Structure 1
Amino acid sequence: MTLPQVPFDDRGLAYGDGVFETVLLRHGEPVLWPYHVARLVRGCQCLGIPTPCQAAIEATWQGKATAPLEVLKLIVTRGSGGRGYALPDPPAPRLLSQRTVFAPMVERWKNGVTVRICCLRLGHQPALAGIKHLNRLENVMARQEWRDAMIAEGLLADQQGQLVEATSMNVFWQQRGQVFTPPLDKCGVAGTLRRALIDQGAVSEASLSLELLPRMERVWVANSVQGVWPVHTLLSEDNVCLQRFQGDRHDKFQTLAHRLLGYAPTPMQ
């Protein structure tokens, strides 16, 4: 595969001036595709980048599949040009894509995962909240906080200590039998699986402080590529155990989410 070359003056490279999507392909067909396109369009609109035409976006996944499961990454940048932060006039957006073979971490579906609370706190920027823009430095910095392979994810809160997301996944919890996820109107990435679950009526938005998280009945992290990982152990910023959550061999939340992604239910051990 010949990878696309990004010019030195591309604004996505220079400033993070663009958006991206990571899409699960099943037998060459994109999963949750309308949700990914909608978020891509919204991200371009938020940044004032002309959205590539629908035919160009659709062409990124059309073609022979190389494996039963692949991941398609789409990147839209504003293109090249402009003086400093000033915008090019007219802009010539650049659409890049790449497909790679993928295998989900099934053992994490079955056995659950350990997650830790990150020290880094997310800043509020409502103008960018929800979209998957190319400047993900907060997430990169948070991911540097641990190297232990036994820790699968890190949970991120905002400056007020309100839970927002994980470094590369959305976070969900169960309280009194209902499943919730944080609102993402001030910061964070609104995942496509998260949106689909809300539309299904399976998840509601609610705020939750970090100090209350250990009191919840269950916790999950999830995205549209890896699926749902039940959390069995929650660690503090200092890697002290805060809570061990009980698993469920018949995890209804995971089953529903995996049905949306085309993954078979996998009972926890």
Structure 2
Amino acid sequence: MLINGQPGDSIAASDRGLAYGDGLYRTLQARHGQPLLWHWQWQRLAADCASLRLPCPDEALLLDEIARVAGELPRAVVKIVLTRGSGQRGYAMPADVTPTRIVSATAWAGYPAERAEQGVVVRWCATRLAIQPLLAGIKHLNRLENVFARSEWQDAAIAEGLMLDMDGTVVEGTMSNLFIVRRGELLTPPLDRCGVSGAMRACVLQLAANLGIAVREARLLSDEVLAADEAFICNSLAGIWPLRQLEQRQWQAWPLTRRLQQALAD
């Protein structure tokens, strides 16, 4: 683990990331120190920094630190955490900001291959996402909604939970973004009111455009997800997982999803 470029495992108790969740993070795969999907990861990190008025680290610096922490691992999970650093007591942003930058890596544990091949079982979560356009899309450090939602089940057969907002529209999974297919068109919920705009989501949107697949953002109700011809979830570690079952609805074939999986593999 590197903290501001130096080996370490602790930060100041006065750090605003700890005190207020004042910061952001990205989680990504790396192979022999080379990050995957970096184009989209960097775009999202830079955009989130701008939204939070947080100084963005130099791209070359981050790539160097990723190589340092993950270079000896054939496959790794890398986490980048940026906070506003230490400050005096109180919510107001300090005038002079010295950010805290944490880059760490752990060995890849992987996911069962059958999740991508045979699809996954998902459920609805009772925990709702609050609507806050100011923070919408940002992978900020305040993730208690996701913590509570993911804690709603212990059944290992259920791979993910889908979350609604306070108005009852479908937003995302606890750790993933959601897409559905309806009459050949790819739909995904907009993230203008809440939710996290994942790097894999951005990648899928680009892959779909490259393949000539009609794609757009649309507010979806739970019944529309259940009525979809196909559905899948995605994130930077898992890739693309087709939905096999949600409540009593079951899917057995995912032709468009398979095209996207193949394009991602290529």
TM, length-normalised to structure 1: 0.88
User: d(CA) in 1 for partners of 2:258 and 2:79?
Assistant: 24
Q: How many residues align?
A: 254
1:227 paired to 2:239: yes
Structure 1 residues 255 and 69 mapped into 2: Cα distance closer, same or farther (>3 Å)? Answer: farther
Q: Cα offset for 1:106?
A: 1.2
1:48-102 deviation digits (Å, cap 9, x = unpaired): 1111223322222224633332111000000001321122231100110111111
Instruction: Tell me the equivalent position of 2:76.
Output: 70
TM, length-normalised to structure 2: 0.89
Q: Cα offset for 1:197?
A: 1.9
Q: Is the 8 A contact 1:122 1:157 kept in 2?
A: yes
1:28 paired to 2:33: yes
Q: Is the 8 A contact 2:32 2:67 kept in 1?
A: no
Higher mean alpha-carbon deviation, 5-14 vs 47-56, is at 47-56
User: d(CA) in 1 for partners of 2:137 and 2:197?
Assistant: 4
Cα-Cα RMSD: 1.8
SS at match of 2:67: coil
What are structure 1's unaligned runs of at least 5 residues?
236-240, 265-269
1:183 paired to 2:190: yes
Instruction: Tell me the equivalent position of 1:17.
Output: 22
Correspondence for 1:174 among 163, 181, 184: 181
User: d(CA) in 2 for partners of 1:80 and 1:116?
Assistant: 40
Q: Cα offset for 1:259?
A: 3.9
Q: Is the 8 A contact 1:220 1:230 kept in 2?
A: yes
Higher mean alpha-carbon deviation, 155-164 vs 104-113, is at 104-113
Q: Cα offset for 1:43?
A: 1.1
Instruction: Tell me the equivalent position of 2:228.
Output: 216
Correspondence for 1:256 among 252, 255, 260: 260
Higher mean alpha-carbon deviation, 210-219 vs 128-137, is at 210-219
Higher mean alpha-carbon deviation, 46-55 vs 72-81, is at 46-55
SS at match of 1:121: coil
Letter in 2 for 1:190: S
Higher mean alpha-carbon deviation, 97-106 vs 113-122, is at 97-106
Q: Is the 8 A contact 1:169 1:222 kept in 2?
A: yes
Correspondence for 2:250 among 244, 253, 256: 244
The list of structure 1 runs, each at least 4 consecutive aligned residues, that deviate by more than 6 angstroms after superposition, is: none
Letter in 2 for 1:39: R
Correspondence for 1:165 among 169, 172, 177: 172
SS at match of 2:48: helix
Identity of aligned residues (%): 42
User: d(CA) in 1 for partners of 2:71 and 2:59?
Assistant: 21
Higher mean alpha-carbon deviation, 39-48 vs 134-143, is at 39-48
- Greater helix share, 1 or 2? 2
Letter in 2 for 1:72: V
Letter in 1 for 2:111: P
Correspondence for 1:96 among 85, 97, 102: 102
Instruction: Tell me the equivalent position of 1:267.
Output: none
Q: Cα offset for 1:252?
A: 4.1
Structure 1 residues 225 and 255 mapped into 2: Cα distance closer, same or farther (>3 Å)? Answer: farther
Q: Cα offset for 1:255?
A: 4.4
Structure 1 residues 207 and 99 mapped into 2: Cα distance closer, same or farther (>3 Å)? Answer: same
Q: Cα offset for 1:166?
A: 0.2
User: d(CA) in 1 for partners of 2:206 and 2:240?
Assistant: 17
Q: Cα offset for 1:3?
A: 4.7
Instruction: Tell me the equivalent position of 1:205.
Output: 217
1:86 paired to 2:92: yes
Q: Pairwise mapping of residues 121-136 of structure 1 onto structure 2 (< 5 A)?
A: 121-136=128-143
Q: Is the 8 A contact 1:3 1:98 kept in 2?
A: no
